Amino acid sequence: MHRFLLKLSSSTNPLRNSKNQLPLILPRFLSSTTASESPPPPRTSHPSNRFISRSGHPYSADSFRKSRAFSSKSRALGVRCISSEAGRESIEYDVLIIGAGPAGLSAAIRLKQLCQEKNADLSVCVVEKGAEVGGHVISGNVFEPLALDELLPHWRQEQAPIEVAASSDKFWFLTKNRAISLPSPFDNKGNYVISLSQLVRWLGGKAEELGIEIYPGFSASEVLYDASDKVVGIATKDMGISKDGSKKETFQPGVDIKGRVTLFAEGCRGSLSEKIIKKYKLREEVNAQHQTYALGIKEVWEIDESKHNPGEVVHTLGWPLDPKTYGGSFLYHMNNRQVALGLVVALNYKNPFLNPYEEFQKLKHHPAIKRILEGGTVLQYGARTLNEGGFQSIPYPVFPGGAIIGCSAGFLNVPKIKGTHTAMKSGMLAAEAAFGALHEGSNMSTYWDNLRSSWVWKELYSARNYRPAFEYGLIPGLAVSAMEHYVLRGKVPFTLKHGKADHEATDLARKWKPIEYPKPDGVLSFDVPTSLYRSNTNHDHDQPSHLRLRDPKIPEKVNLPEYAAPESRYCPARVYEYVEDEEGKPKLQINAQNCLHCKACDIKDPKQNIEWTVPEGGGGPAYSIM
C-alpha cells in the first residue's frame, strides 16, 4: 500500500511519529526454489525504531491538509505545498533528499541547523525506500567520527550507538591453513566498531527532533524535470500493480514530490543518480574515470564470551581469493558478544566461475576464523556493493536543480576501508550549498568548490593510487601500496588509472575451469535460502520485477553459452537461476523477491543487460544490527 507515514503525536509537528507505536513485523520471504539443508534459526529481534512504514495509514494529500493549514504564504514560511494534477498528488518542499542514509540524514540535519543559525525556515523532506530508516543500511563498520564531531559535537552525551572503541589492529595474510601477521597499515585509534544501521536510526531521531520530515517505505522511481531540463523532484512508484501490469484492488498512484533543491543520497550505484550522471555527463564534465566496485558480504555472529574481545579489528588479504582477484576479509568485535565478519570481492574479477557468496562460506572454515565462530550463532546476513574508484572516479556532483552526495557519488577511502565519514561530510557540504542557494542567493556550484577544499578531497587524493595498483596482481599491489603508504604518502606526481570496467573484465568461460565449492555444513557455512532468511528480505510477490532485462534474449544466447551464466554466481541472493522451460531448454528465471538490493547485477553483467530499478516501497532487506 502506498503511504506516507502519518505521525500522530501531540508534538508541534503534526506528522511526528508516535514513540509508543509498535513496529510492524512483515512476513519474510524464503525462496522455494532451493531447500535449506537445516531449519533456519529464530529471527533476531529489532530494536525500537520510530521510523517504520506502517499499514493502516495510507498516504493521501488530505492527510496533510488536515494536519496543517495551507495558504499562499506557505512557501515563504517553509511549509510544504500540495496540489493534485492529472490524478497524481504533488507535494513541494524547499529541499528534497532521496535516501535516509548517513549522507542524506547529515545533509538534512545540517540544513535545519543552518535554519536555526540564520533564523530561516526551509522545509526539508527525506524519502527512503526501505520499510524503516536504517533497514537497508549495511557496512563493516569501523567508524571514524570526524564528520559526526563537526555535525553533532555533543553526540557522546546523547546516547549515540557508538560505544566500542577500536582497541587493536591486526592484519593477516591468509594461506589455506595459516594466518601470517603483517605490519598493520591501519590506524584506528579514536575510531569505533559500530552497527551503521543503528547509527543511521539514531541520526533519524536527531533529524526528526529538528522538524525534518522522514518518510520510509517510498521508492523514488523517476526523476522529474521542468521545461528547461532542470531537476524538480522525483515521482514515487505506483503501488498495487500486479505482475501482469494490471491494477489490483489496493492500487494507489505514486506521488510527485518536488523540491527547489533535490539531493540524491541513494548509496552506491543509486538507480536515479546513475541516470543523472549519464544525462548531464557529469563524469565527462571533470574527466573522471569510470567507477569501479566491490561486493561486500557480511554476517553478524554472537560468539562465546571467552572468544570475544570488544574493539578488536582484524583485516586480511589472500585466501580464499586467487592472487589476481582483489579483495579481503574483516572481523570486527562489536559489543554484546557480537562480531561482524565479512568478505569484500572486487567486481573486476576475471573468472566467470567465481562465486563471492561461496568464497565467503569457505572463509569461515579457515582455522583462524573457525576458532572464533565455533559455538556461535549467526544473527544476520546481508550484502551490498561499494565504490572503489576513489578520487579518479568522482563525477562533477552538481546538476541543474540539485546535487549527488555520499556513495552515490563515490567518496570511499579504499585503503582505510571507510566511507561513512566522507559521505556524511559531503552531505553537510551540499546542505550548506543548498542553504546558500535558497536563502543567500548563491548557487549549488559552491558544493563542488567547498568539497575540493575540504579534508575529504585531501584524504581521497592521498589514497588515489592504492586501488589501481592492484590491477597488476596481489604482490605488485602490496608493493606499490606499501611504498605509497609508508614512504611517498600519496605525494607522487602521477595518478594511476583504473583498468577495464567491471563488466568488461569478465573473461569467457572457456578460459577458466569451473570451481567446485564444498557443500555447506549448516554450522559455519550455509546455503543461500538460510542466509536470506537472516536478512529479513521481503518483497510483494505479485508485482512487476524490478530487475529488467534490456534484451530478454541475451541470457540464453550470450551469458549462458559464452560466460557459463555468471549471474547465477555473482548474485549473493540467488535471484538469477537457469531452469528448463516446457521444451527442456534452459531459461533464465528471475527470483526478484530474493533481492538484497546489493546492485551487483547492475554492475557485473557482462553485456550490461540487467537494469536494477526500485521495487514497491518497503521491499528489500530489514537490517537491524548491520
- Catalytic residue ranges: 139, 384, 420, 571, 595, 598, 601
Location of C-alpha cell 543509486: 270
Q: How far apart are CA 329 and CA 11, in angstroms?
A: 46
Q: Note whether 16 and 68 are within 8 A (CB).
A: no
Q: How far apart are CA 397 and CA 620, in angstroms?
A: 27
Location of C-alpha cell 595518478: 495
DSSP code for 559: I
- Residue 300 pairs with which residues in a beta bridge? 340, 380
Query: CB burial class (10 A; 0-12, 13-18, 19+) of residue 322?
Result: middle
Q: Note whether 578 and 560 are within 8 A (CB).
A: yes
Q: Note whether 602 and 293 are within 8 A (CB).
A: no
Q: How far apart are CA 234 and CA 225, in angstroms?
A: 9
Location of C-alpha cell 576513489: 390
- Closest C-alpha to 4, from 214, 241, 256: 214
Q: How far apart are CA 602 and CA 471, in angstroms?
A: 22
Q: Note whether 365 and 176 are within 8 A (CB).
A: no
In degrees, rounded to 5, the angle at the alpha carbon of residue 145 between the alpha carbons of residues 419 and 101 is: 50
Q: What is the DSSP string of 372-389?
A: HHTT-EEEEEEEEEEE--
- Say which amino acid occupies 61: A
Task: Return the half-sphere exposure (C-beta side, CA atoms, 13 A cut-off) of residue 133.
Answer: 29
Q: Note whether 460 and 418 are within 8 A (CB).
A: no
* Length reported for the chain: 626
Q: Note whether 597 and 130 are within 8 A (CB).
A: no
Q: How far apart are CA 367 and CA 347, in angstroms?
A: 26
Phi, psi of 616 (to 5 degrees): -60, 145
Query: CB burial class (10 A; 0-12, 13-18, 19+) of residue 402?
Result: buried
Q: How far apart are CA 363 and CA 176, in angstroms?
A: 9
